[in-house]
Amino acid sequence: MADFPFADRLAALPPYLFAGIDKAKAAVAARGVDIISLGIGDPDMPTPDFIIEALHEAARKPANHQYPSYVGMLSFRQAVADWYGRRFGVSLDAAEEVVTLIGSKEGIAHFPMAFINPGDLALVCTPNYPVYNVAVNFAGGEVEYVPLTDENDFLPDLDAISEASWTRAKMIFVNYPNNPTAATASKEFYRKLVDRARETGTIVLNDAAYTEMYFDPADKPCSILEVPGAKDVAIEFHSLSKTFNMTGWRIGMAVGNPSLVKGLGKIKENVDSGAFQAVQEAGIAALAQGEPLVDGFRKVYRERRDAICAALSKIGISHRVPKASVFVWAKVPQGFTSAEFCTSVLERTGVVVTPGNGFGAPGEGYFRISLTVPTPRLEEAVSRIASL
């Protein structure tokens, strides 16, 4: 059988971080080891029943069995606009400033194709979700990494980016609450970013998938679109995945500057046929009725955060206590690289944690823990790590 070579753009990619983790996890599990997976941030709590019932009812409608709109049902986009109004006080035109996505990852991956020409520069704040740089490279663009460091609370030093880079950059990727560091951004930070981007004509792509996973009302994350003038330069990506435990449903949205939304919509016209309308109807129900249940999910994650942070402190592992997201960002013990530590933990204890360098060079020396398993399993995981 012929073995065809991959295209250069694919052959140049490093192995996808989580695919490699899954392969290593399967090898250890094959030895009969009890695996505790704290790798991928995939909520373990089920999708609420009322959302499932909304899908069940919508799936029976013959109109939903046909091709959907490329950019999404207007009723779903209106539900998104209404939710943004209630949650962030942001006014959105559902027809022009909202596009439906098959999950936010899909939208982020496609967005550079609409605005990056070969040779264009994109600034990527790192450690980062790997899809950012991959998407830019697939579009033929170049990436300049902007380091996120503990000393700066894992926010980019916007003043340290050279004037030449700001002038040349077609877009900048930011992500708060951040994956993997769990850092959060203030409205003051967004204001400075928006002002700089407006000066230089730089598109701001804000990945805001974790805004609803916060632990204290005083730390409730904001939207970049709350900043005056943000719509001049910004598009924000959001998802129902983490908020409503709907990762497998693949439903999300991008909102903001109408020309940016329109550009992404034109890409979607040519590469997919839109999200299943029954899932969009379930999404409408989630956005309209789900907040009381989301508050309960936050309480579960807060209990888990508190438990694992206490356990990590007890065994002397330095870490940040997150204000939001479903992750804890911790330092590997002395004498290990990130990869060495995570490999040793998996092979010797059956616990899966993610090496920080897999998210970019500034992540070396750290590892990421996901809070998406019950508290007893989190505590058991740390107990196993302590036995190394």
Provide the 3-class DSSP secondary structure of residue 242. Answer: coil
β-sheet bridge partners, residue 142? 121
What local confidence, expressed as pLDDT, does residue 17 receive? 67
Contact 36, 352 (CB under 8 A): yes
**Count: domains in the chain:** 2
Q: Do 297 and 284 share a structural domain?
A: no
Q: Do 264 and 328 share a structural domain?
A: no
This prediction's pTM = 0.96
Question: Could you give the C-alpha distances from 289 to 48, 64, 370, in angstroms and in order?
Answer: 11, 22, 27
Inter-helix orientation angle 375-386/338-349, to 10°: 110
d(CA 68, CA 185): 36
Query: 329-357 pLDDT, tens per residue?
Result: 999 999 999 999 999 999 999 999 999 99
**Domain end marker among 289, 319, 337:** 289
Which structural domain range is residue 310 located in? 16-46+292-386
The secondary structure of residue 45, as a DSSP letter, is: S
Query: 81-111 pLDDT, tens per residue?
Result: 999 999 999 999 999 999 999 999 999 999 9
What local confidence, expressed as pLDDT, does residue 105 receive? 97
297 located within any domain:
yes
d(CA 225, CA 223): 5
Provide the 3-class DSSP secondary structure of residue 122. Answer: strand
CATH number for the domain that contains residue 332: 3.90.1150.10
As to burial, measured by CB atoms within 10 angstroms (0-12 exposed, 13-18 middle, 19+ buried), residue 153 is middle
Report the mean per-residue pLDDT for the chain.
Answer: 96
Which run of H or of E encompasses 286? helix 277-289
Which of 15-29, 124-138, 362-376 is the least confident region?
15-29
The secondary structure of residue 335, as a DSSP letter, is: T
Average confidence (pLDDT) over 278-284: 98
What local confidence, expressed as pLDDT, does residue 25 receive? 83
| C-alpha dihedral (187, 309, 345, 358), degrees to nearest 10 | 0
Report residue 28: phi and psi, to 5°. Answer: -70, -40
As to burial, measured by CB atoms within 10 angstroms (0-12 exposed, 13-18 middle, 19+ buried), residue 63 is exposed
Query: 112-143 pLDDT, tens per residue?
Result: 999 999 999 999 999 999 999 999 999 999 99
What local confidence, expressed as pLDDT, does residue 340 receive? 92
Average confidence (pLDDT) over 298-308: 98
366 located within any domain:
yes
Q: Smallest Cα–Cα separation from 147: which of 172, 120, 162, 125?
A: 125
**Domain end marker among 252, 269, 289:** 289
197 located within any domain:
yes
